[in-house]
Amino acid sequence: MRTIALYHKPTAHAVNRLLAKPAVTTVITRAKNKAQVLQNVASSQRKLTREDIARLDKLAAV
pLDDT band at 6 (very low <50, low <70, confident <90, very high): very low
DSSP state, 27? -
Mean model confidence pLDDT for the chain: 80
- For residue 20, which of 34, 36, 8 has the smallest C-alpha distance? 8
Structural contact between residues 46 and 12, judged by C-beta atoms closer than 8 angstroms: yes
pLDDT band at 23 (very low <50, low <70, confident <90, very high): very high
The answer, yes or no, to whether residue 12 has pLDDT greater than 70, is yes
- For residue 40, which of 26, 56, 29 has the smallest C-alpha distance? 29
Q: Higher confidence at residue 44 or residue 4? A: 44
Structural contact between residues 13 and 4, judged by C-beta atoms closer than 8 angstroms: yes
pLDDT at position 62: 66
pLDDT band at 61 (very low <50, low <70, confident <90, very high): confident
Q: Report residue 6 CA to chain centroid gap.
A: 13
